[in-house]
Amino acid sequence: MPIRVLFALQTAVMRWIGDFDLTHQIEGSYLQYTDNILGKATPVTDIQDIFKKANVAVITGGASGIGFAAAKFFARLGMSVAIADLGRDRLAAARAELEAIAGVDQIMVVETDVAHKEQLEALERAVLQHFGRVHVLMNNAGIGPETSIFSPQAGWDNILGVNLMGVINGTRVFGPGMLAHGKPGLIINTGSKQGITTPPGNPAYNVSKAGVKVFTEALQHELRNTPGAKIAAHLLIPGFVFTGLTKGDRQEKPAGAWTPEQTVDFMVESIKRGDFYILCPDNDVQRPTDERRMLWAAGDIIENRPPLSRWHPDYADKFKAFLEKKD
């Protein structure tokens, strides 16, 4: 099937789905519907029932970057916040800033290596003992050391342990309790555009983030088909964000990058709209470009092109023309 036909088909399908609007926002309400588009829409919750004073948020990778920006956002709403990360000095500095926002009683920090399930289980016990229950879980911890297919095993183990198994085990540890208490809540998993377009350069990272996408899709499908469930899942897909993971040797934010705070603001607005895929732009790349890159990646299979053809010299001009095409 030619890529132009695929794109037209996708556009038509998305417009058709839009007529039934499986999720949307009405006067601030966050509505989620069953898979049966012919059935009656049933609201699960109002977003204000989740992001509110006295509710509890747990954020892994919460001492810096997007995780810390989310922690500050939730703290300003009066929520109780627990952050998990590595590095006592970083955690202490984050605690001080969060306590200045929300007060000592509303903040807890727990040094946690999310690659180890037993440490996540200890984190859950500590949070429940201190706060009683969890309403928002943000599996955000991530690392990105460079790898290649045949690079040392330790690099692969570390990335998959933190980026993928940290998300899977974080969800499996906290999720049952979140479902059991019966209150509205969210599980937000941080993915990456690299988990969708899988550019060459760091295969372990790409594999980990592709796994997060697949896992979170399956999670949301299971949640929406669980009777009485008031928990929804979302996949956060950041753009270029200036964080400790991306800055390298740079001391100043590049013009093309977003701040972690911009990313969190976009995340919250997307959740209010009911978006599952929170596809963030940045100052260089807007959504239409991301969509075409992702569509081209999917087209490799349909068109029987070489894998990662976007970076194949024989397809460079074709990809450029596809990216610049005006529909």
**Which DSSP letter does residue 258 get?**
B
Distance CA 59, CA 66 (A): 10
Q: Which two tokens stand for residue 2?
A: 């030619």
Q: Residue type for 92, please?
A: A
The total number of residues shown for the chain amounts to: 327
Q: What is the distance of C-alpha 92 from the center of its chain?
A: 25
Torsion angle of alpha carbons 239, 244, 246, 247, nearest 10°? 120
Question: Nearest 5°: CA angle at 190, between 163 and 6?
Answer: 105
DSSP states of 115-170 = TSHHHHHHHHHHHHHHHS--SEEEE---------TTS-HHHHHHHIIIIIHHHHHH
Q: Known catalytic residue: 30?
A: no
Torsion angle of alpha carbons 103, 106, 112, 118, nearest 10°? 160
Distance CA 149, CA 146 (A): 10
Give the active site residue among 33, 205, 277, 315. Answer: 205
Q: Residue type for 145, please?
A: P
The answer to whether the beta carbons of residues 260 and 246 sit under 8 Å apart is no
Catalytic residues: 205
